[in-house]
Amino acid sequence: MIRLTFLSRLFAVPHSDAALAAAQVRALSRQVPLLLITLSVNAVAVAYTHYGIAPHGLTIPPLVAMLGLAAARILVWVRTLHRPLEGEAAFRRLRGTNLFGSALGVGFSIWAVLLTRYGDVASQMQVLFFLTITMIVCLTCLLHLSSAAPTVGIAALPVTLYFISTGEVLLVVTALNFAGVISAMIFLQKMGYGDFCRLTALIAENHDLAHTDPLTGLPNRRSFFAKLQQTIGEAGAAGATFAVGLVDLDGFKPVNDSFGHAAGDEVLIEVGERLAAILAGNGWAARLGGDEFGIIVEGTQDLDAIGRQICASLRRPYALREVTAQIGASVGFARFPDAASTSEMLVERADHALYHAKEGSRGTAICFALEHEAQLRSHAVIEQALRSADLETEFSLVYQPIMDVVEQRVDAYEALARWTSPTIGKVSPGDFIVVAERSGLIRDVTRALLRKALADMAAWPMEVSLSFNLSAHDIASSACRADIKDIVRESGVAPDRIIFELTETGLMRDLVDARDALSELKGLGVRIALDDFGTGYSSLSYVHKLPITRLKIDRSFVTSICEDQASLNIIRAIIDLARNLGFSCVIEGVETTDQMLLLRSAGCRFMQGYLFQKPLPREEIEALSGVAAAIVPQADQLRSVA
């Protein structure tokens, strides 16, 4: 029983390493056919030399049987060469090869030895020679099979003993030489197999490193797209459906900047764990890079429900070592094949849905729909027109005043971009700015418009400033920042007359980089305004870290201040905040006299809106000083409101 257990272990196929089994099958699919062809040639040669000497039944029928078995196995392995086996199929093939190889090797040896009973010493030497060649080829071709050495050893031992037992000196010496060569080959085969196992393990480890995110342990970007391509093929063949999702964390950069990269890494690890738990059995998650994750949702599951679950889960607090962090997440989905049928287009449409989620309803999930398709096509047309546009002639600026209601004058003009394309006509800034940012063309647009705006300032009074909008993409590039500084210097305009506006949400994506970039621009002497304040993160811990000199309160707070005391109280609080931090404060969206009077009573000095003037081209703004003085309330009006 012990001997049988030992033999079973000797010829067993380890079932713990699927990657090794698959690698063994791939190697054997090229080598086993060569082995079988060699064995067949040797069998034919031995049968031919003994034909007519040995009994007919001992030469032809065994030869035909071996050739038939060899041909069948060659066909099996040739098919494997074109269709690699993995998993349980690979283990079955290895077990079958063990059994077939052992049986064929032992059978061939017995047949050859039986033939030596007929003929002289020369024919016996030929048999021994062919056995030696056959076993050497077996050990060489079966280098990647663990049972090859035991099989050949078991077959070689009785052969050696048989030829020694003949007492023929030439056969005895040759048999001992045969045993020595085979023993050396068995040793080399075992070493080669060990090296193959270590190499396979190293390749598997390198594969894991190349396809796994080292921080979260999730598949990485390369693995995600490989899995997506595989899923598309499987779903297309089966007529099935699935969805691709992109998950982008909201507020992760501020956490990373405030608490440190170690805390940020902890958050990312837990985000990966939460996503994997949500999708367990229903999908697949990967980290694409930074704070962006990709998911594949199998079947026809409710994407709205899954999206809500993801957003709710990722909003839960993250208990770190020393602090508790809070972030959110936005999700964009695209379903196969409704949205697209290729991996590139599916990801593009999921990204478009994600963009809508982040811009319109941050912290929610949106699935790509028909209206998104129309917008995507529209943006594609805009991008093509933008790429071929003559920025100097097609783009223009209009200016809206920012009023100083205390001194009753224009404090600054905000430059607003306009584009009239010769091919697609007038394009809304809400469309072409988005397209320019996403396509990387915003930097060229910014440079061209900044030159125009600074040239227009030549006709303005010296006390009037220019408020010019920059994109977060503009300041992210050191080359673009250098261009902006060069344009300002070349214009001859005093830098302290220039106010660069940036949106709060754009800056908060990377607080440290934004702070450094703005500090670099501020070093030129310009002023920095934080636009749309109150619509993004609005945290004191962020505001005081940025080198800003002005806050612009978003128009959404102004709309209902006459009826909503809470909105007015919020504005008062922001004005107090700005005053305490040494900032000036501009209220946007002032459209009625009542709004203006309430804001003035709340301590607001700088206002902007249609009450004062709509945006006008350069030629029409010179007469605004008189208009402004007529609109700004007099002191007695302010007292009556107070």
**Domain edges within the chain:** 2-210, 221-368
Q: Tell whether the torsion through CA atoms of 553, 555, 557 and 563 is positive or negative.
A: positive
pLDDT in tens, 531-581: 877 665 545 556 777 888 898 888 888 888 888 888 888 888 888 888 888
> For residue 125, what pLDDT is reported?
83
pLDDT band, very low/low/confident/very high, at 638 (cuts 50, 70, 90): very low
Percent pLDDT > 70 in the chain is 90
Helix (H) or strand (E) holding 7: helix 2-10
Q: What is the mean pLDDT of residues 446-451?
A: 94
Q: What is the mean pLDDT of residues 191-212?
A: 76
CATH topology for the 221-368 domain: Alpha-Beta Plaits (3.30.70)
> For residue 332, what pLDDT is reported?
93
> For residue 9, what pLDDT is reported?
54
> For residue 640, what pLDDT is reported?
44
Q: Give the mean pLDDT of the chain.
A: 83
> For residue 542, what pLDDT is reported?
65
pLDDT in tens, 590-612: 999 999 999 998 889 999 999 98
Q: What is the mean pLDDT of residues 35-49?
A: 86
pLDDT band, very low/low/confident/very high, at 634 (cuts 50, 70, 90): very low
Identity of the amino acid at 213: D
b/e 590-617 (16+ beta carbons within 10 angstroms → b): beeeebbbbbbbbebbbbbbebbbebbe
> For residue 635, what pLDDT is reported?
40
Contacts of 519 (CB under 8 A, 6+ apart): 547
> For residue 506, what pLDDT is reported?
61
pTM: 0.59
Which residue bears the tokens 């009753």?
Answer: 408
b/e 132-154 (16+ beta carbons within 10 angstroms → b): bebbbbbbbbbbbbbbbbbbbbb
b/e 415-430 (16+ beta carbons within 10 angstroms → b): bbbbbebeeeeebeee
The lowest-confidence range among 4-18, 199-213, 239-253, 357-371 is 4-18
Cβ atoms of 164 and 177 within 8 Å: the answer is: no
Cβ atoms of 196 and 185 within 8 Å: the answer is: no
More confident: 103 or 228:
228
pLDDT in tens, 251-305: 887 787 778 888 889 999 999 999 999 998 888 999 998 899 999 999 888 899 9
Instruction: Give the C-alpha separation, 515 to 546, whole Å.
Output: 5
Which residue bears the tokens 């060469």?
Answer: 81
Q: What is the mean pLDDT of residues 111-135?
A: 81
Task: Tell the burial category of 507 from Cβ atoms under 10 Å away from its Cβ (0-12, 13-18, 19+).
Answer: buried
More confident: 427 or 81:
427
Q: What is the mean pLDDT of residues 65-69?
A: 88
More confident: 417 or 251:
417
pLDDT band, very low/low/confident/very high, at 642 (cuts 50, 70, 90): very low
Identity of the amino acid at 158: P
Contacts of 420 (CB under 8 A, 6+ apart): 394, 396, 426, 427
Instruction: Give the C-alpha separation, 204 to 208, whole Å.
Output: 6
Q: What backbone phi and psi angles, to 5 degrees, belong to 55?
A: -60, 145
3-class DSSP state of 591: coil
Q: Which of 529, 448, 440 is nearest to 477 (CA)?
A: 440
Instruction: Give the C-alpha separation, 640 to 642, whole Å.
Output: 5
Neighbours of 24 (CB within 10 A): 28
Instruction: Give the C-alpha separation, 83 to 101, whole Å.
Output: 22
In DSSP notation, 73-108 reads HHHHHHHHHHS---HHHHHHHHHHHHHHHHHHHHHH
Question: Taking 50 as the threshold, does the pLDDT of residue 639 lie above it?
Answer: no
> For residue 509, what pLDDT is reported?
58
> For residue 2, what pLDDT is reported?
45
Helix (H) or strand (E) holding 333: strand 328-336
Q: What is the mean pLDDT of residues 54-78?
A: 87
